[in-house]
């Protein structure tokens, strides 16, 4: 197991290198650069700006410089704000991670509850409601959900704030969490429902009932636990998706997260920030996938890694 973990961690290095290389060259292939503005800067100014950010050097040299700096733990500076990329990611990710983790907890609890309730009330009203939520939640884009929530709960009722995120302040937490959390909780509800229904039809459940076990024991000990493996499969990517930030939710509520920063960096051709955030995302996703793989072994003892 330890050898497997070490091997997987070492594999992250070439993955990150490949992601960085592809991003680097794609980024320079896209038309327009960080200093292309409608109001053209004088040639002397452009020369100095290019020199300041090493853009006057050949591409292979810029590529080498990037990796040299990266090896020294330096992701460079944002071409726009001139602030260190590491600081910008650190600032943004603190908020994004809070939003992501809070939403993840909400989505898992709410989605799994809905899924279990639906399955246990198969073809009854709660099931219909659960299926409706799972379908509508998957189909409705978050910008629609967010906009509706803002209009109803902020503008009309004045219950919550429109702007920002503040951990511990419910006025600033509820709407972003709901907006970001509806899709993953709907998805979790759908998978949980299907998985629980499948387990409920297994022979060992029938046997447990025949043995006269209490229903809550059957559900909690034998059904839900065994139904968790497929749910766990999707929880990992959902976690990675949530903690790496949502541009839409962060934009609707103007949250200073890393998702909004990343998209703005792309549209502004902020090369330094694009590279930094892409590598950061890639690292988070690679680590989340590794954690999920390791969790499989915990949940399902039949799985062994060598």
Partner 1 sequence: MSFLKHRGYLLSLVALGAVLAFAACGSDNEKTSGTASPGGGAGERIQGGTLTVQNLEFQSSDPHFSNFVQDISLERMLWRGLYTLDKDNKPQVSMADGEPTISSDGLTYTVKVKEGLKWSDGQPLTAKDFALAVLRTCNPDVASNYQSFDTNIVGCDDYFGAKGTTAAPKTPTPEELEALKAAVGVKATGNTVEFKLVNPQPTFKILLSMWTYFPVPSHLLPDPGEAWPTPPSPKLAYNGPYMIQDYKPQDSAVLVPNPNWSAPNGIKPTLDKIVIKYIEKDDVSNNAYRNGELDVVSADLANLGAVKAEFGNEYFQAILPGTRAVEMELKHPPLDIFEFRLAVSQAIDRDQMIKVCCGGAYVPTTSFQPEGVGGHAPDAFKDQIGYNPDKAKENLAKAKQKFGKDFPTLGILVRDTPEARAQAEFLQNSWKTILGLDTRIDPVDSPTRSKRLNGHDYELAPRSGWIQDYPDPEDWMGKPSGLFNTGGTNNTSSCSDPEVDALVDKATTNTNDSERRDQYKKVNELITTRLCGYAPTYHEANNNILKPYVVGMKENSTAQDTRLPGDWIAEAWGRSK
| Tally of CA atoms within 13 A in the half-sphere of 150 that contains its CB | 17
Phi and psi torsions of 212, nearest 5° = 85, 20
**In the complex, least distance from residue 76 CB atom to partner 1, rounded to whole angstroms:** 13
**In the complex, least distance from residue 238 CB atom to partner 1, rounded to whole angstroms:** 19
In terms of CB distance, is 159 or 204 closer to partner 1?
A: 159
Contact residues for partner 1 (CB under 8 A)?
Answer: 30-34, 36-45, 47-52, 56, 80-83, 88, 91-92, 110, 113-114, 116-117, 120-121, 124, 126, 129, 150-151, 153-155, 157-164, 170-171, 174, 215-216, 219, 251-254, 256-257, 260-261, 264, 267-269
229 burial type by CB count under 10 A (0-12 exposed, 13-18 middle, 19+ buried): middle
**In the complex, least distance from residue 25 CB atom to partner 1, rounded to whole angstroms:** 17
Please tell me the distance from the alpha carbon of residue 275 to that of residue 21, in angstroms, as a whole number: 9
In terms of CB distance, is 43 or 301 closer to partner 1?
A: 43
Is residue 195 within 8 Å of residue 230, measured between CB atoms?
yes
**In the complex, least distance from residue 189 CB atom to partner 1, rounded to whole angstroms:** 11
**In the complex, least distance from residue 150 CB atom to partner 1, rounded to whole angstroms:** 5
CA 237 to chain centroid, in Å, comes to 7
In terms of CB distance, is 42 or 301 closer to partner 1?
A: 42
CA 219 to chain centroid, in Å, comes to 31
End-to-end CA, the chain: 6
**In the complex, least distance from residue 198 CB atom to partner 1, rounded to whole angstroms:** 17
Six-digit token string for 294: 């390791």
| Tally of CA atoms within 13 A in the half-sphere of 7 that contains its CB | 7
In terms of CB distance, is 146 or 236 closer to partner 1?
A: 146
**In the complex, least distance from residue 184 CB atom to partner 1, rounded to whole angstroms:** 16
For CA atoms 275, 80, 32, 244, give the dihedral sign: positive
Please tell me the distance from the alpha carbon of residue 120 to that of residue 254, in angstroms, as a whole number: 40
In terms of CB distance, is 8 or 94 closer to partner 1?
A: 94
Please tell me the distance from the alpha carbon of residue 58 to that of residue 3, in angstroms, as a whole number: 41
In terms of CB distance, is 198 or 268 closer to partner 1?
A: 268
Only one residue has tokens 């459940």, namely 205
């Amino acid at each position: 197991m330890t050898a497997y973990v070490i091997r997987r961690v070492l594999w992250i290095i070439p993955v990150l290198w490949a992601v960085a290389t592809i991003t680097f060259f794609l980024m320079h292939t896209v038309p327009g650069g960080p200093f292309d503005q409608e109001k053209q800067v004088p040639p002397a100014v452009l020369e100095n700006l290019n020199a300041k950010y090493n853009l006057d050097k050949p591409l292979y040299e810029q590529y080498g410089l990037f990796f040299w700096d990266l090896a020294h733990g330096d992701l460079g500076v944002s071409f726009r704000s001139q602030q260190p990329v590491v600081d910008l990611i650190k600032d943004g990710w603190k908020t994004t991670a809070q939003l992501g983790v809070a939403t993840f907890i909400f989505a898992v609890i709410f989605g799994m509850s809905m899924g279990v309730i639906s399955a246990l009330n198969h073809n009854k009203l709660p099931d219909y409601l659960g299926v409706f939520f799972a379908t509508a939640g998957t189909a409705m884009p978050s910008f629609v959900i967010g906009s509706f929530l803002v209009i109803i709960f902020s503008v009309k009722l004045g219950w919550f704030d429109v702007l920002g995120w503040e951990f511990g302040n419910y006025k600033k937490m509820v709407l972003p969490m709901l907006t970001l959390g509806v899709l993953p909780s709907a998805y979790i509800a759908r998978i949980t429902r299907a998985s629980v229904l499948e387990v409920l039809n297994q022979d060992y459940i029938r046997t447990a009932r025949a043995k006269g076990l209490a229903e809550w024991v059957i559900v909690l000990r034998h059904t839900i636990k065994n139904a968790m493996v497929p749910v766990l499969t999707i929880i990992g990517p959902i976690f990675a998706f949530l903690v790496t930030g949502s541009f839409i939710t962060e934009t609707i509520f103007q949250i200073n997260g890393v998702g909004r920063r990343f998209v703005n960096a792309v549209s502004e051709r902020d090369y330094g920030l694009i590279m930094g955030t892409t590598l950061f995302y890639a690292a988070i996703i690679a680590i989340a996938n590794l954690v999920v793989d390791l969790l499989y072994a915990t949940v399902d003892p039949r799985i062994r890694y060598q």
